[in-house]
Amino acid sequence: GAVVSQHPSWVICKSGTSVKIECRSLDFQATTMFWYRQFPKQSLMLMATSNEGSKATYEQGVEKDKFLINHASLTLSTLTVTSAHPEDSSFYICSARDFQNRAITGELFFGEGSRLTVL
Amino acid sequence: RKEVEQDPGPFNVPEGATVAFNCTYSNSASQSFFWYRQDCRKEPKLLMSVYSSGNEDGRFTAQLNRASQYISLLIRDSKLSDSATYLCVVNDNDSGYSTLTFGKGTMLLVSP
């Protein structure tokens, strides 16, 4: 079935550094990918919608200069957390829909998630 | 602002029990509904879609009540492996854009 792969699964970094997270659709083309953030005991919150070949669409309250999104190909989107601080520590998850091959139009396939800890 | 509300739980039940979760949504025009399952520190995975006529998949039954704007998930004969957080997800189409809104999830703990 459709698979979305995310890397790295875990990352620990020092405050002030930047961290890049990759999201790949392995067996389908994803013109649109979604980036979510989940804090402990909270729901998934959509951060931004990543569009292949164009600028990402950010949700209200999400700083586009801090969370840089690049969607350069139909199978890869990256999220870069710039100048990370401890409050950015969270579980970041990407997702995509396989519109061409999936009958369930609302189904999202998620990456495995990336747990970021900023010291 | 679209809202999807769930009882956070946790629901503690013994093996073999029947448990039901409810979820309410605020947008009467919402078009499709899903239940996702999320294990601890893992990504969510689709459990089942929710159809207007109700649908069943083995021990799991999902129902939709559009008039009251809620959906439900019933789990019969609970297994230890059912322990997880169950997320209610609502799909809306606004001007051609499909957006998903997630509830905060209901935690289920099944004990021996």
**pLDDT attached to residue A44:** 85
Percent of chain A with pLDDT over 90: 63
Tokens of A57: 């669409």
- Residue A85: alpha-carbon gap to chain centroid: 18
**pLDDT attached to residue B1:** 65
Residues 26-45 in A contacting B (C-alpha not used; CB under 8 Å): 41-45
Distance CA A52, CA A31 (A): 5
Q: What's the pLDDT tens digit per position in A60-86? A: 999 999 999 999 888 999 999 999 999
pLDDT, averaged across chain A: 89
Does A112 touch chain B if contact means CB atoms closer than 8 Å?
A: yes
Q: What's the pLDDT tens digit per position in B39-97? A: 988 889 989 989 888 899 999 999 999 999 999 999 999 999 999 999 999 988 766 66
Cross-chain residue pair A43–B49, CB shorter than 8 Å? no
Tokens of A54: 């164009």
Quickly tell me which residue has 């002030």 as its tokens.
Answer: A16
Of the candidates B35, B51, B37, B38, which has an alpha carbon nearest to the alpha carbon of residue B100?
B35
| Three-class SS of B42-70 | CCCEEEEEECCCCEEECCEEEEEECCCCE
Kindly report the length of chain A: 119
From A94, which residue of chain B is nearest by alpha-carbon distance? B43
Cross-chain residue pair B43–A107, CB shorter than 8 Å? no
Sign of the dihedral through C-alpha A11, A38, B10, B73: negative
Distance CA A68, CA A81 (A): 7
Q: Are A99 and A71 in contact (CB under 8 A)?
A: no
Distance CA B76, CA B62 (A): 12
Residue B33 forms beta bridges with which residues?
B50, B90
Tokens of A71: 């969607």
Does A59 touch chain B if contact means CB atoms closer than 8 Å?
A: no
**pLDDT attached to residue A29:** 85
According to DSSP, residue B10 is labeled: P
Kindly indicate the confidence band of residue A118, based on its pLDDT and cuts at 50, 70 and 90: very high
- Residue A39: alpha-carbon gap to chain centroid: 14
pLDDT at A51 exceeding the cut of 70: yes
Kindly indicate the confidence band of residue A16, based on its pLDDT and cuts at 50, 70 and 90: very high
Q: Are B107 and B21 in contact (CB under 8 A)?
A: no
How many CB pairs (< 8 A) connect A and B?
45
